[in-house]
Structure formats: structure tokens, C-alpha cells
Chain A
């Protein structure tokens, strides 16, 4: 079989076709990649069956997907487009509230605004609203750089805190919040409605349905992000990140590209917000700026996801989400199910603190020893699996030292 044919047949759609690489080991590398991806997809699809009645594990996995969707949005903005943002929780809040308002039943309560749109439309609407607010912030984002932009974006978190508490008709207020409407797809409710279909003897109830919904949403986000990174959009992001003047000279409209990155990242965060609302079954604004679902702590957690995964790497963001969001929920699960941390010897050490220690340490170690994060580790592993491949084929765009991980590459593992 000739190289050309096998390459055409075997390469996954996300692989950039134009990269000049050593072709000798490519079919083998692709086979490994396809096999690994297939195993992963199969595992994820069968997860509800594997965990069976232990739905708590499924909740952990769902939460990881929320972190993955949000993290992908942030890694595009911070890693690919080089714009530091701490505003992610604000867009999560906007997404969650928008969904609750758009889909909310108008008759449900006199105090709450609800437009009664179909949930699918509300989901799309929430994403669009977040994108538009991101666009509204673009004039500020376009003028600022680096840490100045980071702190400026922090103002959105405080704005969200204030608006969340003030606009109780939308958010439900800090005391009770409001319940987001059940998601529905063409009449199929994502709740415990009868009759529930079974799959290998496991009833597909609310949590199983939500898992599949989240899985599809995360997969779409992943593929869209990979597509963006590998296309003209991604190249213009990296050009702007590396050198604005040079990008302008190449014909890139810097203002528009920066605004576009902010809009797309906000839209991803908005989707993560809708998912958070469905996951918690509650939309409730935070009481203060440092604890809660949309607080500064979450800003930092999302940044940690992006750093641990490797700045700019889409698969890396998924790994980062598993570390940061997954561990936290896993420890919480252990605390609830098995009574971890209950003993006095832990001295008040609890799940949240322990997971913060782990991801805090992970961030420090990543910066000290592997600035490319999980993506770089994965890249090296893949290179080892196919030794004849030239490990660092020209990939372009490594002009800022240290912000090295750019990565429009394609490691299923990383």
C-alpha cells in the first residue's frame, strides 16, 4: 500500500495536512493514535455502564467535562492568542443565568423573569449572549496587554458579583437562587422521566443522560477548538501573540483577531456555565468574591487548568480539567462516601484544600520543570512510541521563549 493512500485513509480529520514531517512512521503513528482515540471514546461512552449505580462517580466525570469546555476556551485565549484573562467565571455566570432566564417558565414565579424558550434554543442563546458580552469587552481587551489585561478582566468578576446580587429577577438572588429548567432535546427530557431506556441493564436516568449530553457538548467544543487552532484563525492568533507588529505586516487585522479570540473564549465559558447550571441543578450568584461557583477561586482554577495542560493546547486543557476539577470532586466524593478527612489527624484538611494543594503544586512543578505542561509530556511520549519520527518537526511560531507551548499539533494522549 503506498504512503499516499494510507495517509489519506488513515489520518484523522483534525490532523493538519500541510505539515512537512517525516512520513516514514506516519502510518504507524496514526494507527496508534486512532487506536488510542477509539479506546478512549469507547471508555467514555460506556462509562455510565462501568460505574453502574454509583452515580456519584458519574457526577465527577461530568464536572471534569465542564472544566474541559471552559478550559479549552481559556487555553485558546491565553495560550493561542496570548491574552491573559481572569474573567472566565463571569462568563460562566452569564451563561448559567442566561440559560435559566431564556428557558425559564414565565408562569413559575412572579419574582423571576423567564422567557419560556425551548431549552436547546436557550442553550444556544446563552452562548451567543456570552459571545456578545465578550465582544463588548473587546475594545478594552484590544487596548491592553499582559498583566494589565488580566487585572482589567478581573473587573468583570466583580461586576458579575455585583450584578448577580442586584438583579434578583434574573439570578434568583444569593439566598435561594433559581432552578434551571430541565434540558430537553426534541421532546426527550434530561431528567428522571419514564420510560427510561436501559443500556446493558443500566437504566439511563437523569445523570446518565446528562453525561451523554455533556459528552457530546464537550466533543463538539473539542473538535471546534482543534479546527480553529489548525486553521487560518489559529495561525492569526499565534501571529498576534508572538508579535503584533509583525502580524499587522502580514496582513492580520490585530484588533479584529483579538476581539474574535475574546468572543470565542467567552462563548466556550458560556457553554461551561450552562453545563454548570445543569450539573448543580441550581443557578445562584455568589455571596462574596472569593468563594463560590463564579468567584476568584474559580478564575485561578481555570488558569491552573490551562497551565497544567500546557498553554494553548486543546487536549492539554482536558487533562488540566481532570487534574484540577476532577481531583477536587474526587476528594469530595471520597469524603462523602468513605469518610476521608473525617479523622482529627487530618487537622481540618478537607477535600477542597487537598485538591488546591495538589493543583497548586502541579502549577509550580510545571513552570519549573516542564513549561509545556501535559501537552509537552504527551508529545514526548508519542515521539517515544514512534522513534523513527523526527520529534520536533518544524511547527512554527515558537518565537517567545518560555511561552513555548503553542501547539497546533495532535497528540491524543496529551
Chain B
């Protein structure tokens, strides 16, 4: 592999990684606020994507994209307010199982609605590679990288300095104490789902494209969203910085190993997805709570 190819793969991998980071950040935000692992994240992604697909011909792409992001955010909010908040008796493990049920329903419904179309929804930038000093960069990935960087920076600023961020961190630290200090737990939880849904809505704009995976909106997109799981786990489920690092590691690993197939044919076409998980396994064996996750201590 010459240097130009490597740079090309690396940059495109970073672009993918930015999208994984957005998804992983969503997992982490929800997990920090509620300790619930949201298995329905993939279906939030599909909700956003489906709205864009349904509206882009009538509203035009930019407006449809905006409505899609808002819809994904609202879907997250409705899921939390409608179901999870009403299951107060259940612990967070049961709630994680509940999201599996929700995920099955939403995914099947949207896959059914999309039907055989399996549409691509990245109209303004899809399939328009940029040539830069002998290196081909997919426009989707380049824009994803920029958008991801902006959103992630904005998130960290808000997390660090805004009232919402303080409330969020307080609740993550100690829910009871935060409640006693006058922080409304229900509001923090709801906004966490809202933000996570919005991030998923942004991510899908890049996921359901030719450039990203060649898989249009459908089960393929849902499966890509699952790759964000290793990203979140790699970094540590309760670490926002870990989500970003994990996302980038996953994106770059996937891009580099998928290219390796050309000269290591025995590895086969599906190796790049396995490689992501192998990297995650190695990290987990060495650090069972991920790179930046809080170690679980047990007092005897």
C-alpha cells in the first residue's frame, strides 16, 4: 500500500469514524443519564432517514434533512417519555431489554415501508468524490468529518459550560444527590434522549449513501448503527471522550482492513466488520471497561 492510498483510506476512515462517533456519543449520553443501554438507537437512525426519504422530493433536501433530524430527536423523546419513564419499577437492565422490543417493531415497520427501494438520501454530496493531490476522498466522508467535528465540539462546550451540561454531569455522578440539589431528573433524562436522537438523525444523512457503505436506507443502515456499539464500548460506555475515540478507531479500522482484502484475499469480503470486533475484543480483554470507562469496583 503506497502512501497516497494509505492517506486516502485513513481520511475516509476518519469520516466514517466521525459518523460512528456521533452514534456512540448518543449511546453514551443516554447511558450516562439513565444507565440504560439503548438498543433502539438503530431504529432512531431509521426514523430520521425515513422522514428524509419521504419528504425530500416535496420539501427539497435541506428542509427534509432538518425535519428528519427533528423527527429522530422526537422519536427518542417519545420513546423515553412514553415507555421508559412509565416503567419506573423496572431496573435499567429490563429497560434495555424493552428497547430491544421497540427496536424490532420500528425497524420492521420502516424496512417494510421502504420496501425494495432501499433509497440513498445523501443527495447533495453522494457519489461526488473530491480529488486532492492525487488522493480521492469521498465527499460524504469529508462533510461528515466537518459536521461531526462541529457537532462534537458544540456538544462538549455545552456539556462543560451550559446549565444543561452541569445538570447532566451531576445526574451521571449521583442521581439522588442531584435531585436533592433541585435538578429535575426527568428533564435531564428527556433531553438526553432528545440529543441522542438528534445526533442519530444527523448520522443517518451520511450513513444511507453510496459513499459510506453502498447500503441504502434499510436493514443495512440498521446494521451499521450496530457498529457504533463497539465504538461506544471500546471507549467506555460512560465516557463521552471515549465515544469519540472509539468511533474514530472503528472507522479507521474498518476502512484500512476493507482495503487489505485486495492483497490478502483469503481474509474474504466480510473481514473488515470482523476486524472492528476483534479490535474491540482485544481492548476489552486488556481493559474490561473500555479505554476511558469507569472501572467497576466491588466493595466486600
Contacts and interface: CB of A to CB of B under 8 A. Distances in A.
Interface stretch (B10-18, B57-65, B204-212, B223-231): B223-231
A307 B97 contact: yes
Interface residues of A, number: 51
Given A147-B96, A353-B112, A361-B105, 16 more contacts: A140-B281, A148-B290, A154-B226, A158-B273, A162-B271, A245-B299, A289-B273, A296-B223, A296-B226, A348-B113, A348-B115, A356-B105, A357-B105, A402-B90, A403-B93, A403-B94
B1 interface: no
Contacts of A360: 101-105, 108
Interface string A157-189: 011011001100000000000000000000000
A140 B284 CA distance: 8
A143 interface: yes
Looking at chain A's contact residues, the main secondary structure is helix
B95 A148 contact: no
Nearest to A352: B108
B278 interface: yes
Contacts of A148: 233, 237, 284, 288-290
A371 B87 CA distance: 10
Contacts of B222: 290
Interchain residue pairs A-B with the least CB separation, the first 5: A363-B101, A155-B277, A402-B91, A360-B104, A360-B105
Interface string A347-368: 1111011001101111110011
A300 interface: yes
A366 B247 CA distance: 34
Interface residues of B, number: 56
Interface of B: 37, 83, 86-87, 89-91, 93-98, 100-105, 108-109, 111-113, 115, 219-220, 222-223, 226, 229-230, 233, 237, 266-271, 273-274, 276-278, 280-281, 284-285, 288-290, 296, 298-300
A368 B100 contact: no
A363 B104 contact: yes
Contacts of B285: 139-140, 143
B270 to A, nearest CB: 4
A362 B271 CA distance: 35
Contacts of A244: 298
B288 A143 contact: yes
B287 to A, nearest CB: 10
Interface string A40-81: 000000000000000000000000000000000000000000
A371 B284 contact: no
Contacts of B109: 353, 357
Contacts of B220: 288, 290
Contacts of B280: 151-152, 155
Most interface-central of A144, A347, A400 (chain B CB within 10 A): A144
